């Protein structure tokens, strides 16, 4: 099949590229946000430990 060609195919090419990005493992890991949710330090680079609230 191949890619669409022509003057009026920009929307289709762009949307297909946007959909296909999610099949890239590294892109998905970075942009889903589940790695930050599962990480107790929340992505902080210099976290000393988990801080509990006083109470």
Domain ranges of the chain: 9-37
Reported as half-sphere exposure (CB side, CA atoms, 13 A), residue 44 has a value of 9
Q: How far apart are CA 51 and CA 55, in angstroms?
A: 12
Quick one: pLDDT at residue 41? 76
The helix (run of H) or strand (run of E) holding residue 16 is helix 10-21
Beta carbons of 10 and 4 less than 8 angstroms apart:
no
pTM: 0.60
Beta carbons of 13 and 4 less than 8 angstroms apart:
yes
Quick one: pLDDT at residue 46? 79
Angle 34-32-25 from CA coordinates, rounded to 5°: 105
pLDDT means per 10 residues, the chain with 55 residues, are: 92 96 94 83 73 72
């Amino acid at each position: 099949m191949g890619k669409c060609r022509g003057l009026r195919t920009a929307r289709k090419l762009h949307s297909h590229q946007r959909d296909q990005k999610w099949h890239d493992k590294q892109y998905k890991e970075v942009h889903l946000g589940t790695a930050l949710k599962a990480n107790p330090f929340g992505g902080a680079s210099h976290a000393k430990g988990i801080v509990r609230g006083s109470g």
